[in-house]
Amino acid sequence: MYSVKLLDAGTPERASEQLVTLRIDGVTVTVPAGTSVMRAATEAGVRVPKLCATDMLEAFGSCRLCLVEIEGRKGYPASCTTLVEAGMNVRTQSRKLADLRRGVMELYISDHPLDCLTCPANGNCELQEMAGVVGLREVRYGYDGANHLRAEKDASNPYFTFDPTKCIVCSRCVRACEEVQGTFALTVDSRGFASVIAAGPTDFLSSECVSCGACVQACPTSTLMEKTVIDDGQPDHSEITTCAYCGVGCSFRAEMKGSQVVRMVPNKDGGANHGHSCVKGRFAWGYATHPDRIRTPMIRKNIADPWREVSWDEAIAYAASEFKRIQAKYGRDAVGGITSSRCTNEETYLVQKLVRAAFGNNNVDTCARVCHSPTGYGLKTTLGESAGTQNFDSVEDTDVVIVIGANPTDGHPVFASQMKRRLREGAKLIVVDPRQIDLVRMPHVEADYHLKLLPGTNVAVINALAHVIVTEGLHKEDFVRARCEMKEYEKWKAFICDPRNSPEAMESITGVLAADLRGAARLYASARNGAIYYGLGVTEHSQGSTMVIGIANLAMVTGNLGRKGVGVNPLRGQNNVQGSCDMGSFPHELPGYRHVSDPAVRALFENDWKVKLEAEPGLRIPNMFDASLDGSFKGMYVQGEDLAQSDPDTQHVTAALRALECLVVQDIFLNETAKFAHVFLPGSSFLERDGTFTNAERRISRVRKVMPPLAGMADWEVTVALSNALGYPMHYDHPSQIMDEIARLTPTFHGVSFDKIDRLGSIQWPCNDKAPAGTPVMHVQEFVRGKGRFVITEYVPTEERATRQYPLLLTTGRILSQYNVGAQTRRTANLLWHDEDRLEIHPHDAEQRGINDGDWVGVRSRAGETVLRAVITERIQPGVVYTTFHHPFSGANVVTTDNSDWATNCPEYKVTAVQVSRVAQPSEWQRQFTEFDKRQRELLPAHEQAKA
């Protein structure tokens, strides 16, 4: 039978360069020092029975099933806890060993229900398998004495159950929660025979458990078991694919029955996740077959008209004729397209190609505009490449971690687990965030410094950190001399040493004590390896690009670039943000970040695409909205993006969408943007498509089709059909051919192909002749731009300030169980953890306003007003309020303004001046939203309404 657990080597791999040779059952094997005898045996092709050992966890040595004989040693040591020694001669099979193992098994089975035939783990249970392996034939101890066979099942978690009657107390679950996930939610209560596994005082749901699934995966019995397997039975085949949620890009084994997914199991060979997962990728995939999926193309002339279901041919012909009509009437530049970071590289590449080649303009932009566009600008300017410098594994060599404006345990949970492991090993931590994120204090992790700055003052903080380092002589002048442009450096040095950038001068602006800032700067500068990880709390500001540049300056001046353990690491929000940027989704850049105004670059694409390309950059998303309201922009093709919910200043965005004559939305659900659309093209989920995603560490991984597209066409096929209908011919038989074209035209992708990814598992670009297997760490000998460039980062306060009218600063973020606009996670049981967005407010600000926990409060800015329920908490500092933005009705973006980054127009989501007060009813916008939403649902075909 199909079983993923058969691949378990028992104990983790060791990386030592020192090798040890020994003999096991007559087979000579050589392994790195520090390897267990059990693992060495596995590598010699010998399987030693085991129960408490698994190669995701350190050996524990409790079950005594893996006993072996070692020549010259007394007794029967456990092979999982015994390390190899040179010249060792090990026997894994003997009459005595067989008797001992049977005795161990007999004890286990005497307290285990013998209901294998009806057990959900039947056929994929290590206990069952081991009973067979050791040849257990009888159990001499009856069930009359004390046992655990009537213990109560805990089904409180929506995704898995805990059935203590099946538990053998091997503690693999407890260790997985500690070592792999780092949550410490489980304990072994009592001792000896009375030992039981406990999750919190009552059950899993009310415990600290974050539903990552590590314990379920580690459990050798059916004690911890996925509910989908209980309901549907064991899978019979699998396919490796990549999670469709965040920028960690976890690799998963989609375990199937026919074309039905039974469970998603994190892939131990996954380069980004090494067999770990979070609740979203592991369990929240049910949205892919949710009844809300729209499976038939639809068109309508006007957004007040009912939708009409049509064939693919008719929908595509209609969309093409509308775009052609608009261009004929209003000019070539009156249409544009939006690519999505939810889509594959190949799909994204095709959309930008369609815009440039079929529309004949550069009006293409991507959702990265509203998240990480400053990363591209800032890192390109200073280091020469618009991407993070390290792989995730690099953190294992880091001594001081700085986390700025990111919340890894919620936003990038699997990487957070890796980081937490390093912190538990002793690495130091500096958190720069207005809010107390979990990393500041959690089990066995405590930040050395939490610089609780005021929203909007990032640049002041980064400048002050650099000021301390340079003025106190803690910088690495040798590194700078060897690797950076000295003229620019000297200018920057004079700027940064100016007393106006000192922590003392900045204290009243940032709200951070000068002493803390000095301490944090000294800590980072003194690290053997210091690494900076940052997120949207850096980029989504009016000085987002300046801050990214400031981070790069800080890394350069401390020599923290170009090797393992260091670097500048943007934590990308969506699964393919890096890829959508790489693929030329910006209006000024062709794939590979090459400017459209460069004639040589254009010539390369013109020759290949057989079309003349426009040299002038096109419109950015906010420019498209403005142009729509001006009447000069009339048609938009939006693939996989929900502008109406995710972009700032909702009322401005929806007015712009309403003003379009043809809005084509390609998505799996009728999202908020689709309610303004004239053509709806049903999209395919990640389970229905072939292609690649590129994660935050530039890792290109395969997305593999495990079921046919529910609407009949994959997204890339739809773009090809639309382009053909527009008169620009495209032809591909498979997405691998699209990647071949990308590789042909993009120097950093020259060596990438589906075949190579299939062979290597994944590849981190640049991948070309110089780096055929990819590049885990960038800028090793020199920076991509040659010499690193210091750029002056003058702190300029945002115009968005607290005033008497709007005295509080609103900042926003994500939560673990939900994902961005929530279109996917709201259609899963994750709603149990977060069914509405709430406003966090400090007790002091709440008291001043007479607000109690749970009260409805109006949040009003100069852009608009919405109403949320209040949560009173000291996680947030006085003067600042915080909310998530996962539910459309919350209208978080009704409140955010049109302020944006000076260089890239990335919206300033993280700072909005607001007033908060108790209210009794939803806001006017919420009332209108509800009405519009209801009306749009009524315009759907009757069978779609019936599903709702």
Task: Work out how close the CB of 282 gets to ligand SF4 at its nearest, in angstroms, rounded to a whole number.
Answer: 6
Residue 722: contacted member of ligand SF4, ligand FES, none (CB under 5 to 8 Å, by partner type): none
Q: What is the per-residue DSSP string for 455-471?
A: TT-HHHHHHHHHHHHHH
- Determine which residue in the list 57, 170, 355, 358 makes contact with ligand SF4, applying CB under 6 A: 170
Residue 541's region, left for phi above 0, alpha for psi from -120 to 50, else beta, is beta
In 3D space, the residue among 633, 89, 131, 138 whose CA is nearest the CA of residue 337 turns out to be: 633
Nearest residue (CB) to ligand SF4, 209 versus 679: 209
- Residue 470 and residue 463: Cα distance in Å, rounded? 10
- Residue 741 and residue 609: Cα distance in Å, rounded? 10
117 Cβ contact list (under 8 Å, min separation 6): none
Which of positions 898-937 make contact with ligand FES (CB under 6 A)? none
N-terminal to C-terminal alpha carbon distance within the chain: 39
Residue 168 touching ligand FES (CB under 6 A): no
258 Cβ contact list (under 8 Å, min separation 6): none
Query: Strands 699-703 and 308-309: what pairing?
Result: unpaired
C-alpha pair distances (Å), 72 with each of 89, 97, 99, 111, 611: 9, 16, 21, 36, 77
Task: Work out how close the CB of 61 gets to ligand FES at its nearest, in angstroms, rounded to a whole number.
Answer: 4
Q: Return the structure tokens found at 797.
A: 């306060």
Residue 556's region, left for phi above 0, alpha for psi from -120 to 50, else beta, is alpha
The one-character DSSP state at 620 is -
Binding mask 403-442 for ligand FES (x = CB under 6 A): ----------------------------------------
Residue 211: contacted member of ligand SF4, ligand FES, none (CB under 5 to 8 Å, by partner type): ligand SF4
**Is 941 buried (19+), middle (13-18) or exposed (0-12) by CB count in 10 A?**
middle
Minimal CB distance residue for ligand SF4? 281
- Determine which residue in the list 79, 92, 128, 181 makes contact with ligand SF4, applying CB under 6 A: 181
Nearest residue (CB) to ligand SF4, 197 versus 465: 197
Q: Which stretch binds ligand SF4 (CB under 6 A): 183-191, 446-454, 828-836, 929-937?
A: 183-191
Task: Assess contact for 909 and 838: CB atoms under 8 A.
Answer: no
Residue 10 touching ligand SF4 (CB under 6 A): no
Nearest residue (CB) to ligand FES, 64 versus 290: 64
Which of positions 271-290 make contact with ligand SF4 (CB under 6 A)? 273, 277-278, 280-281
Binding mask 31-70 for ligand FES (x = CB under 6 A): -------------------xxxx-------xxxxxx----
Residue 519's region, left for phi above 0, alpha for psi from -120 to 50, else beta, is alpha
The CB-side HSE value for 439 (13 A sphere, CA atoms) comes to: 36
Total residue length of the chain:
948
CB atoms within 10 A of CB 184: 13
- Determine which residue in the list 56, 197, 638, 810 makes contact with ligand SF4, applying CB under 6 A: 197
Residue 210 touching ligand SF4 (CB under 6 A): yes
Residue 173 touching ligand SF4 (CB under 6 A): yes
Query: Strands 298-299 and 308-309: what pairing?
Result: antiparallel
Query: Strands 335-339 and 635-639: what pairing?
Result: parallel
Binding mask 409-438 for ligand SF4 (x = CB under 6 A): ----xx------------------------
Task: Work out how close the CB of 819 gets to ligand SF4 at its nearest, in angstroms, rounded to a whole number.
Answer: 7
Residue 261: contacted member of ligand SF4, ligand FES, none (CB under 5 to 8 Å, by partner type): none
Phi, psi of 278 (to 5 degrees): -120, 175
Residue 24: contacted member of ligand SF4, ligand FES, none (CB under 5 to 8 Å, by partner type): none
In 3D space, the residue among 276, 248, 565 whose CA is nearest the CA of residue 406 turns out to be: 248
The CA angle 667-669-672, to the nearest 5 degrees, is 90
Residue 345: contacted member of ligand FES, ligand SF4, none (CB under 5 to 8 Å, by partner type): none
Q: Which stretch binds ligand SF4 (CB under 6 A): 163-171, 401-409, 603-611, 708-716?
A: 163-171
Q: Return the structure tokens found at 917.
A: 């007060």
Query: Strands 838-841 and 880-883: what pairing?
Result: antiparallel
Nearest residue (CB) to ligand FES, 80 versus 298: 80
Residue 636 touching ligand SF4 (CB under 6 A): no
Task: Assess contact for 665 and 730: CB atoms under 8 A.
Answer: no
Residue 50: contacted member of ligand SF4, ligand FES, none (CB under 5 to 8 Å, by partner type): ligand FES
Task: Work out how close the CB of 186 gets to ligand SF4 at its nearest, in angstroms, rounded to a whole number.
Answer: 5
Three-class SS of 89-135: EEECCCHHHHHHHHHHHHHHHCCCCCCHHHCCCCCCCHHHHHHHHHC
- Residue 633 and residue 619: Cα distance in Å, rounded? 10
Task: Work out how close the CB of 557 gets to ligand FES at its nearest, in angstroms, rounded to a whole number.
Answer: 50
Residue 720: contacted member of ligand SF4, ligand FES, none (CB under 5 to 8 Å, by partner type): none
Binding mask 844-863 for ligand SF4 (x = CB under 6 A): --------------------
* Omega prior to 599 cis, within 30 of 0: no
Task: Work out how close the CB of 168 gets to ligand SF4 at its nearest, in angstroms, rounded to a whole number.
Answer: 5
Nearest residue (CB) to ligand FES, 67 versus 664: 67
Nearest residue (CB) to ligand FES, 36 versus 623: 36
Residue 491 touching ligand FES (CB under 6 A): no
Residue 254 touching ligand FES (CB under 6 A): no
Residue 12's region, left for phi above 0, alpha for psi from -120 to 50, else beta, is beta
- Determine which residue in the list 46, 78, 364, 532 makes contact with ligand FES, applying CB under 6 A: 78
Residue 326: contacted member of ligand SF4, ligand FES, none (CB under 5 to 8 Å, by partner type): none
Residue 253 touching ligand SF4 (CB under 6 A): no
Residue 80 touching ligand FES (CB under 6 A): yes
- Residue 796 and residue 930: Cα distance in Å, rounded? 40
The one-character DSSP state at 907 is B
Residue 391 touching ligand SF4 (CB under 6 A): no
**Would you tell me the crossing angle of helices 345-353 and 715-726 to the nearest 10 degrees?**
10
Nearest residue (CB) to ligand FES, 61 versus 712: 61
Nearest residue (CB) to ligand SF4, 443 versus 631: 443
Task: Work out how close the CB of 171 gets to ligand SF4 at its nearest, in angstroms, rounded to a whole number.
Answer: 5
- Determine which residue in the list 82, 92, 183, 407 makes contact with ligand SF4, applying CB under 6 A: 183
Task: Assess contact for 51 and 63: CB atoms under 8 A.
Answer: yes
Task: Work out how close the CB of 249 gets to ligand SF4 at its nearest, in angstroms, rounded to a whole number.
Answer: 5
C-alpha pair distances (Å), 585 with each of 129, 607, 662, 684, 906: 52, 20, 21, 20, 15
Task: Work out how close the CB of 78 gets to ligand FES at its nearest, in angstroms, rounded to a whole number.
Answer: 4
Residue 213 touching ligand SF4 (CB under 6 A): yes
Query: Strands 428-432 and 400-404: what pairing?
Result: parallel
Residue 219 touching ligand SF4 (CB under 6 A): yes
Residue 212 touching ligand SF4 (CB under 6 A): yes
Q: Which stretch binds ligand SF4 (CB under 6 A): 238-246, 453-461, 738-746, 750-758?
A: 238-246
The CA angle 386-391-396, to the nearest 5 degrees, is 140
Query: Strands 89-91 and 69-70: what pairing?
Result: antiparallel
Residue 53: contacted member of ligand SF4, ligand FES, none (CB under 5 to 8 Å, by partner type): ligand FES
Which of positions 596-625 make contact with ligand SF4 (CB under 6 A)? none
Binding site for ligand FES (CB under 6 A): 50-53, 61-66, 78, 80
Binding site for ligand SF4 (CB under 6 A): 167-173, 176-177, 181, 183, 185-186, 197, 199, 209-215, 218-221, 223-224, 243, 245-246, 248-250, 273, 277-278, 280-281, 413-414
